[in-house]
Amino acid sequence: MKNNLLPAFRLTLVLLVLCAVVYPALIWAGAQLAPNQGQGVTVSQNGRVVGYANEGQKFDRPEYFNGRPSAVDYNAAGSAGSNKGPTNPEYLALVQQRLDTLLLQNPGVTKSQVPAELITASGSGLDPHLSPQAATIQVDRIAKARNLDAATVQGLVAQYTENGLLGPDRVNVLRLNLALDALAPAGR
């Protein structure tokens, strides 16, 4: 034991420098060449940073495409899923309630058109995406709120749909809403 203690201390110090200083510094230096110098990809509107491209944010106004439910209400200083089990009665009642609200806010949409991801919470609470179907059922509501042609709004959804070569097809909600604002500024 004694023969090992001193080498163990000295090796720990050397490796601490290697793994916790040199290595992160190397990656940091490399990241200076990455998009936005490794500070995360931000998105701006009229020169003002309005969010991170990869990180979901809260949209609950009728004139925007609304994202998925979030267990942390899109608080980006934290993150969490709901951690509700599949048979939890309270949880199932909450999903039912979200469905009822959704149908009320989007008249003309039937239950069978509602994709489950729009009424279930994401893993991170910061999911930036919707499925194209989850965006499509919101088109009529948004067109009405912004005095736009429904076909134009649907065109935007199609334009912003990223074809998942391997994963599911998806739409980035923030980018889609930015495009929507560019087309017809929200009245606020």
Partner 1 sequence: MNTELVGIAGIYLLTLVLALPLGSYLANVFRGDKNLLDFLAPVERGIFRLAGIDERREMSWQQHMVALLTINGVWFLLAILILCTQGSLPFNPDGNSSMSPDLAFNTAISFLVNCNLQHYSGESGLSYFSQLAVITFLQFVSAATGIAAAVIVFNALQTRTTEKLGNFYNYFVKSLTRLLLPGSIVVALILAFNGAPMTMQGKQALVTLQGDSVQVSRGPVAAMVAIKELGTNGGGFFGTNSAHPLENPNYLTNATENIALTIIPIAMIFALGFYLKRKRLSYMIFGVMTVGFLALLAPAVYYEMHGNPAISQLGVNQSLGAMEGKEVRFGAAASAYWSITNTIISCGSVNSMHDSFMPLSGLTQMLGMMTNAFYGGCGVGLLNFFAYLIIAVFIAGLMVGRTPEFLGKKIEAREMKIAILVTLLHPLLILAGTALAAHTYTGNPAEYAGWLANPGFHGLSEMLYEFTSSAANNGSGFEGLGDNTPFWNIGTGIVLLLARFLPIIGPVAIAGLLARKKYIPEGAGTLHADTATFGVMVLAVIFIIAALAFFPALALGPIAEHFSLY
Q: Please, which of residues 121-160 interact with partner 1 by CB under 8 A?
A: 121-131, 133
At residue 167, the 3 state secondary structure works out as coil
Closest C-alpha among 67, 71, 59, 171 to residue 121: 71
Q: How far is the CB of 7 from partner 1 (least distance, A)?
A: 5
Q: How far is the CB of 147 from partner 1 (least distance, A)?
A: 18
Cβ-based nearer residue to partner 1, 118 or 143: 118
Q: Examine residue 47 and tell whether it contacts partner 1 (CB under 8 A).
A: no
Q: How many residues bind partner 1 (CB under 8 A)?
A: 102
Cβ-based nearer residue to partner 1, 124 or 152: 124
Closest C-alpha among 184, 162, 164 to residue 172: 162
What is the chain's alpha carbon radius of gyration, rounded to the nearest angstrom? 23
Structure tokens at 97: 């309630």
Q: Are 128 and 55 in contact (CB under 8 A)?
A: yes
Q: What's the CA angle centered on 77, arms 71 and 40, to 5 degrees?
A: 110
Cβ-based nearer residue to partner 1, 123 or 155: 123
At residue 78, the 3 state secondary structure works out as coil
Write the interaction track for partner 1 spanning residues 89-128; mark x where CB under 8 A is met and - where it is not. Answer: x-xx--xx--x-----------xxxxxxx-xxxxxxxxxx
Q: Are 165 and 111 in contact (CB under 8 A)?
A: no
Q: Between residue 161 and residue 180, which ones bind partner 1 under the rule CB under 8 A? A: 164-168, 170, 174, 177-178
Do the bridges between strand 170-172 and strand 161-162 make them parallel or antiparallel, or are there none, so unpaired?
A: antiparallel
Q: Which of 27, 150, 182, 183 contacts partner 1 by CB under 8 A?
A: 27
Cβ-based nearer residue to partner 1, 62 or 148: 62
Q: Between residue 54 and residue 93, which ones bind partner 1 under the rule CB under 8 A? A: 54-61, 64, 68, 74-89, 91-92
